[in-house]
Structure 1
Amino acid sequence: MNRRDLLAAALAAGGPWARRAQAQEAARTVTLIHGFAPGGPADGIARLVAGPLGEALHQTVVVDPRPGAGGNIAAATLSRANPDGSVIGLVTGGHAVTAAFGRNQNYEPIDDFEPLSQLVRYAFVLVVRADNPARDLATALRTAGASRNGWQFGSAGSGTTQHLAGELLNSMAGLQMVHVPYRGDAASITAVLTGEIPLAITAANVAIPMQQSGQVHLLATTGQNRSVGLPDVPTVSEAALPGYDAATWAGLLAPRGTPRAVVARLNAAAVAAVRDSSVRTRLADLVDGEVVGGTPEALRELMTGEIARWRSLIRDRRIALE
């Protein structure tokens, strides 16, 4: 019997052994890794959740950013971690996009992990410069289709969810807008401001301050429902393309082989963390989206469906990484 089995048996038995096992468990630190730069949206989600997650677990949760390779470095690290609950990871919709592109990965995007809980779901926004004559999405799409040189759309990088959100727009609108990748959301929206490109698909928390200062105009959001923080901005589905949905998400994973009891404990802690009213409000404000807190099975289903969906678009549109 290994250490994890002994610990589980002690907890089940109760009495002094259980109290000792619980004390040992509480003394351990949980590392929460993610594959994004410090200060970005994913890092913000991780740091916001870490405190209440630690409180629910009666352990300290330390955020450990491992940026690089579109999140692959962090995901590969997580896949090789000891499956005892001491290391968990935060991934976003980019985890499914990376898998859909079939990038050279040192891990299996579904089979090498134990899903814990989806945390949030949130949309992107379609942004044009404030002086752009197109004041609604339908007009923008007609203008893009009629333009002799065509329109370009910018994203946070090749192979990102923002990139595929634009390609889905192309597919459903029958357009051939050229994708221009940038190094992050801020760079893509800056390109709109300088006139380098007419349109960017970017994170709401980057676009909203520029809208409030009168620098940009928001044509639409990419999710199924209107954004709470942008109630006057229609969805793409409402504005022009019924059925369009290109939201993203963030969730927690553990390494494959993590015992069911540990998965259940981590799931319960994650759900408790995001259901705290203060945390829920701050998370919703951070991503301008919906706070979820679901089951491991629901997160597995989401990841599987997202990979299949984006893989189909990539194949049909013959999208290549740039």
Structure 2
Amino acid sequence: MNYKKLKLFGALIFLGCVNSAVLAQNVKESSNYPNRPIKIINPLAAGGAVDTMARLLAPALQDALGQPIIIESKPGAGGTIGSNFVAKSPPDGYTILMVYDTFAVNPHVYKNLPFDSFKDLTPVTELVKIPLLVVAGNKLPANNLRELADLSKTKSGGINYSSGGAGSSGHLAAELLKSNLGIDMTHVPYKGGGPALTATIAGETDITILGAVITVPQIKGGNLKALAVLGKKRTPALPQVATASEQGLTNFDVSSWVGVLVPAGTPTPIVEKINAAFSQALKNPTVQARMAEQGNEIVASSSAQFGAFLGQESAKWAKVIKENNIQLE
């Protein structure tokens, strides 16, 4: 064997040893996972749908994984700051991203994202689908969509609405709603659903469109009133509230969702453990009771199913934005 062949043979042996060592390390880390506290990053404001969902699931997740669950909010830029933080985190399963529907829209809103939503993060599971509600402050003289449309023509300054940020489901749904009603409304974006909800309760904005997970408690508490459900069917949490379709907007169907991702490169066994833990948490009787109260639909999808769903959501909203000429801030 000549020198060149011997050198190549040695290099191949070295690479094989390195790959074996890396594989062995990944297997060891996967088998030991988790052995320290796990952080869930909420990329939106505290008090919104994601934060509420994370805090509801945390005790059951802690039981399933056997480690403390720490919830940390990193809001800003429609959720892209927190998402970028997780995308740049070590792919070891100890930093988990919980996202709202804005995640699938952001690539169409922010043209220079510091990460690739579909390459730098690995889908884990879609947790739930959440009905969207049009809600108003109690002093607004409108109790349904037709009355809202009539009010928009007489109210000084017109109707304004708050949202959890540009590109959120509430923003896009409101733009579709005003197009279908033939009215104009002014968008007032906030950094998350919590602040948007507070603004409407306080009368700073006329209406908002947000998920049942945070609106239903405020409606039942007498702080807000519901004008419509925007999904295909009424929500069991508020059976008296008619859908937009029932109020004359044929086939109007917009809902929200919450899902979980981890940094790309996270070993598959760890992704599967996280998926199984969330699935177990969603079967907890206390969690299921709260979900039913809020009208949420438990999904608990696989990683592959959630990945396919994200692609469909991205394509759907890209089309809606283009066809309706929606201007995003």
Instruction: Give, in whole Å, the separation in 1 of the partners of 2:245 and 2:37.
Output: 44
Offset, 1:208: 4.1
Contact 1:84–1:259 (CA<8 Å) still a contact in 2? Answer: yes
C-alpha displacement at 1:273, in angstroms?
1.4
Q: Distance in 2 between matches of 1:186 and 1:156?
A: 8
* Counterpart check, 1:60 vs 2:62: no
- Structure 2 residue 101 is the aligned partner of structure 1 residue 93: yes
Contact 1:122 1:223 in 2 (8 A): no
Determine if the alignment matches structure 1 residue 170 to structure 2 residue 178. yes
Q: Determine whether 1:6 maps to 2:54.
A: no
Q: Specify the SS of the correspondent of 1:279.
A: helix
Which residue is 1:15 aligned to? Answer: none
Select which of 227, 237, 251 maps to 2:245. 237
Aligned length: 311
Q: 1:103-118 residue pairs with structure 2 within 5 A?
A: 103-118=111-126
Aligned counterpart, 1:304: 311
Aligned equivalent of 1:295:
302
1:318 matches 2:325: yes
Gaps of 5+ in 2: 1-18
Q: Give the gaps of 5 or more residues in structure 1.
A: 12-20
Please list, as runs of the form range in 1=range in 2, the aligned pairs for 1:48-197 lying within 5 A after superposition: 48-130=56-138, 132-144=140-152, 150-182=158-190, 184-185=192-193, 188=196, 197=205
C-alpha separation in 2, matches of 1:76 and 1:3: 30
Other-structure match for 1:251 = 259
Closer, same or farther in 2 for the Cα pair 1:7/1:128, shift >3 Å?
same
Any idea what SS the aligned residue of 2:123 has?
A: strand
**Please, what is the CA RMSD of the aligned residues?**
3.0
Residue 8 of structure 2 aligns with which residue? none
Amino acid in structure 2 at the alignment position of 1:222: L
Computing the radius of gyration over CA atoms, which structure comes out larger, 1 or 2?
2
Pick closer, same or farther for the CA change 1:297–1:206 going to 2, 3 Å.
closer
Q: How far did 1:274 drift?
A: 0.8
**Alpha-carbon separation, structure 1, partners of 2:269 and 2:195:** 44
Q: Does 1:224 align with 2:242?
A: no
Code of the aligned partner of 1:136: N
TM-score, normalised via structure 2 length: 0.81
**Cα offset for 1:193?**
6.1
Cα deviation, residue 178, structure 1: 3.0
**TM-score, with normalisation over the residues of structure 1?**
0.82
Identity of aligned residues (%): 32
Matches of 2:261 and 2:201 in 1, distance apart? Answer: 38
The answer as to whether partners of 2:129 and 2:296 remain within 8 angstroms in 1 is yes
